[in-house]
A and B are shown apart, each in its own frame.
Chain A
Amino acid sequence: ETGVTQSPTHLIKTRGQQVTLRCSSQSGHNTVSWYQQALGQGPQFIFQYYREEENGRGNFPPRFSGLQFPNYSSELNVNALELDDSALYLCASSLGLAGTTDTQYFGPGTRLTVL
């Protein structure tokens, strides 16, 4: 176990709705990253937060947004859901800035289905 938890485990939404996914990082980990894993593909980087500030972003539209809190919890918010948003969403925590040697510890993921 990595000590990273995510909730809920599964979620079903309809197109156009909004969703919030939650992650609890390991204590002391200042960095959290979010990834989207579509069925049969590798995870794709959405964005990263370091000490409550967005530190970097992948190729995802602004309707994907996040928050990081001082208690090592974080959220991924997705507005105006589309069918293609159906995927496994993974969060990963690491000690500091995710440098080339910093290990990211992944949670089990939230499976989002958009109908």
Chain B
Amino acid sequence: AQSVTQLDSHVSVSEGTPVLLRCNYSSSYSPSLFWYVQHPNKGLQLLLKYTSAATLVKGINGFEAEFKKSETSFHLTKPSAHMSDAAEYFCVVSGDSSYKLIFGSGTRLLVRP
């Protein structure tokens, strides 16, 4: 069965410093992996997705993630945090039945001025 574990429920950074949100996955086959962001009272927005092409995936708003099969990780990074990045971030894996997405429990990112 597929699953994702987000290692931090809360991450706090200062504006202008790097962001690292950690995600480990479990999958019985080569998975598709996603990062979604959820701002308060807004829908989920896709940041980036990995689909077995390049292992370093670039997304919107300066975010990127690296797929590491040996470590079963798909961590999300950004070189410099902006106040507008404060939100809930979800790591997601496609299910063994292709029709569903399996979400992690989320990481709340706080950006301090």
* A2 CB contacts on chain B under 8 angstroms: 43, 45
* A103 CB contacts on chain B under 8 angstroms: 46, 49
Interface of chain B residues 22 through 54 with chain A (CB within 8 A): 31-32, 36, 41-46, 49, 51
- When the two chains form the complex, which single residue of A4, A41, A101 contacts B106, counting CB atoms closer than 8 Å? A41
- On whether the beta carbons of A48 and B32 are closer than 8 Å, the reply is no
- The size bracket of the interface on B is 20 to 34
Q: List 29 A-B contacts (CB under 8 A).
A: A2-B43, A33-B101, A41-B105, A42-B90, A42-B106, A43-B90, A44-B103, A45-B95, A48-B99, A50-B99, A55-B99, A56-B97, A56-B100, A58-B100, A90-B44, A92-B44, A97-B98, A97-B99, A98-B101, A99-B98, A100-B51, A100-B94, A100-B98, A101-B51, A104-B46, A106-B36, A106-B44, A108-B41, A108-B42
